[in-house]
Amino acid sequence: LLAMGLASFVTAVVWFEFPFLRRNHPFKHRVRVLKHNWALAMGFGVAFQVGITLPVFNLLFLTPAAAIAASELYFRMEQRVG
């Protein structure tokens, strides 16, 4: 259970890195946004970890779906934090 939580957190940090970097946000801002929206970030990470276990879905759909979901969640997080 601890390993799943850690893997989910790392997955969220990695996938949310792209939208933050495109807008040149400093690391402090990234940490603040992810801390403020930790439930959304962890939910994304858990969903991604579950998706990895599905062989066909993982191969064909997971990467594009994760990129789109991370971008969408990024915009929601930015609106919540301000």
What would the pLDDT profile of 11-25 be if each residue is shown by its tens digit? Answer: 998 999 999 999 999
Does residue 31 register a pLDDT over 90? Answer: no
Among 75, 53, 66, smallest CA distance to 14 is for 66
Distance (Å, whole) CA 30 – CA 3: 23
Task: Give the CA dihedral 59, 3, 32, 79, nearest 10 degrees.
Answer: 40
pLDDT at 82 over 70: no
pTM: 0.84
CA-nearest of 66, 61, 21 to 44 is 66
